[in-house]
Amino acid sequence: MTWMSAALGLAGTLALQIGLIAFGFVTEQLRLARPQGISGLRLNVAYVVSLRLIYAVLLPVSGAATTLIVNALGGGLFALPASGVGLVFAIPCYALLMDGGEYLFHRAQHRYPVLWAMHSLHHSDPAVNVSTAPRHFWGEMVLKAVTIYALIGLLVKTNVTVVGFYTALGLYNYFLHMNLRVGFGRWSACLNSPQFHRLHHSALPEHHDCNFNQFFPVFDLLFGTYRAPKPDEYPPTGLESGEIPLRLHHMLFWPWRRHSRSPTLRTSSQPS
Ligand SMILES: [Zn+2]
Ligand SMILES: [Zn+2]
């Protein structure tokens, strides 16, 4: 890959992300889950731009593509079909496998302090909306690439078609974070929704450690972390500590924030 195609790929991905955020923001106004300002959204957009540049250096491929790299190096016990009827089964099988891996990693992020120090950036948004979706500490993707994605690459031999479909499905993550009054009611156990995922981001203690799944709540059901949203339940979001990054550098260096003594890292004890 030349530097020109890499730059085009970077610009294209960034344009897609900004376009999704803009579209999501306009859509949210139709049925807001909770009223909110746009200062957090502006900061999230600035962070997305920074994140793209960091990934371009650290991880120029998507997480799912890591499995392809591991396959190319000889990994993959079970081969997934790339065409025909088999492909119809391969896509949901791969999505379910990845979802299981994401679920385990996400549980670990909430359990182990070293991982929570990073993941808490995602949870520090007091106004969860479409722009919260890519708000993850940059080191997390690198960690996932060398752990769960690599392990899945050792387990299954996948192909570009399956990975392409899965990467497109990943855009659902933007929908999940939308500030939208949308839930799936009695079907909540079948597929994640903005209401279901909002409970995971809730600042209320009764919602702690629930609804970890990315797509299919089946893993939450299996491991006892499933929490069905009540009708009209759209709780406030953010960290229990009330920590909120106010500047881009707070987000970029989030795990080390306690050592920075930054006067602008707001907490709930301070007025907003
Ligand atoms: Zn989480
Ligand atoms: Zn989230």
Ligand 2 centroid to Cα of residue 72, in Å, is 31
pTM of the entire structure?
0.85
- Which region, left, alpha or beta, applies to residue 142 given φ > 0 means left and ψ of -120 to 50 means alpha? alpha
Q: Kindly report the average pLDDT of the chain as a whole number.
A: 87
For ligand 2, the distance from its centroid to the CA atom of residue 79, given in whole angstroms, is: 31
Segment 37-64, tens digit of pLDDT = 898 999 999 999 998 888 777 665 556 6
Q: Going by C-beta distance under 8 Å and a sequence separation of 6 or more, which residues neighbour residue 45?
A: 18, 21, 131
| Overall average pLDDT of the 14-26 stretch | 93
Proximal ligand: closest to the CA of 132: 2
Does the pLDDT of residue 146 top 60, yes or no?
A: yes
User: Average pLDDT of 78-98?
Assistant: 83
- Residue with the bigger pLDDT between 147 and 3: it is 147
Contact (Cβ atoms closer than 8 angstroms) between residue 177 and residue 209 = no
**Closest to 246 measured CA to CA, from 266, 267, 271, 268:** 266
Q: What pLDDT sits at residue 70?
A: 76
pLDDT, tens only, 109-142: 999 999 999 999 999 999 999 999 999 999 998 8
**Residues whose CB falls within 8 Å of the CB of residue 138, separated by 6 or more in sequence, listed in order:** 51, 54, 55, 58, 252
Residue whose structure tokens are 């996400």: 106
| Helices within 112-137 (DSSP H only) | 113-123
- Distance (Å) from CA 172 to ligand 2 centroid: 11
Distance 173 CA to ligand 2 centre (A): 8
Q: Tell me the CA–centroid distance for residue 77 and ligand 2, in Å.
A: 32
Residue 67 has pLDDT above 90, yes or no: no
Distance 269 CA to ligand 2 centre (A): 24
Token digits of residue 169: 């499905």
Report d(CA 70, CA 85) in Å as an integer. 25
Q: Which ligand sits nearest to residue 118's alpha carbon? A: 1
